[in-house]
Amino acid sequence: MYLAMNRFKVLKDKKEAFEAMWMERDSDLHNNPGFIEFRLLKGPEHEDHQLYSSHTFWEKEEDFVIWTKSESFRNAHRNAGKKSERTVMGHPQFEGFSTIQMIDKAGNKAA
Amino acid sequence: MYLAMNRFKVLKDKKEAFEAMWMERDSDLHNNPGFIEFRLLKGPEHEDHQLYSSHTFWEKEEDFVIWTKSESFRNAHRNAGKKSERTVMGHPQFEGFSTIQMIDKAGNKAA
């Protein structure tokens, strides 16, 4: 499992606009090979911003890389820059993660 | 869904020791009400450290808070401080996240 994560520092008076932008978008992520799940998460509040994070889970890193070169990706990001510059401080910070260990509800471990 | 996340800056020559510490530990997380899943993730490499992140998913924040006051939590952290000061730069950084939106494999959206 590969996790593609972005961290967004959202201006405090733009939280509603930022959330609305995500809620209202059309997403075809699920049509891409290897896509598992997407989550938009709201994190801690800081003095000058509210942290949000988008987590997209893929079977493997390669699936993510293929998506970044696809029309699906270009469509998803066509208006994102314009819209997010009004709500987000600076650029989102990207981090990719690979899974070292998983423990499920039943206590089963997997690497 | 609530995500309890810790970020660990691991010394580059301690990566194996850090991973082994997690792989070898006994975990009874799955015996706690509201526990959904645990993941240890390996992130980007930086000049002076390797980023790791632990993600624990709970039904709701309250389940996490109850766990932090439990014997299960004390047991899990009894030796963690000692062991991790030899592998991690500074303290782990904790961040809690609530879910704003989820999209699953079938394209179904949920809040």
Helix, strand or coil for residue B38? Answer: strand
Choose among A30, A35, A97: nearest Cβ to B53. A97
Q: Do A107 and B28 touch (CB under 8 A)?
A: yes
Predicted confidence at residue B29, as pLDDT, reads 93
What pLDDT score was predicted for residue B79? Answer: 67
* A57-77 exposure pattern, b = at least 16 Cβ within 10 A, e = fewer: bbeebebbebbeeeebeeebe
CB-CB neighbours of A103 under 10 Å: 19
Give the residues across from B95 on adjacent strands: B5
A104 contacts B30? CB cut-off 8 A? yes
CATH tag for B2-98 (out of 3.30.1510.10, 3.40.50.300, 3.30.70.100, 1.20.120.640): 3.30.70.100
So where are chain A's domains? 2-90
Gap from B72 CA to chain A (nearest CA, Å): 14
Across the range B67-82, mean pLDDT stands at 83
Determine the Cα–Cα distance for residues B52 and A17; give it in Å rounded to an integer.
Answer: 32
What CATH class does A2-90 carry? alpha beta
The amino acid at residue A37 is E
Closest CA to A22 of B89, B103, B11: B103
What does the alpha-carbon distance between residue B41 and residue B62 come to, in Å, rounded to a whole number? 24
| pTM as predicted | 0.92
Identify which of A33, A53, A31 has the alpha carbon closest to the alpha carbon of residue A43. Answer: A53
How far apart CA B40 and CA B84 sit, in angstroms, is 15
Task: Specify whether the CB–CB gap between A84 and A14 falls below 8 A.
Answer: no
Our CA-based measurement puts residue A72 at a distance from the nearest CA of chain B, in whole angstroms, of 14
- In this prediction, residues A78-101 reach a mean pLDDT of 86
CA distance A57 to A41: 13
ipTM rounded to 2 decimals: 0.90
Place of tokens 């996240």: B97
Res. A79 pLDDT band, cuts 50 70 90 = low
Structure tokens at B104: 């699953």
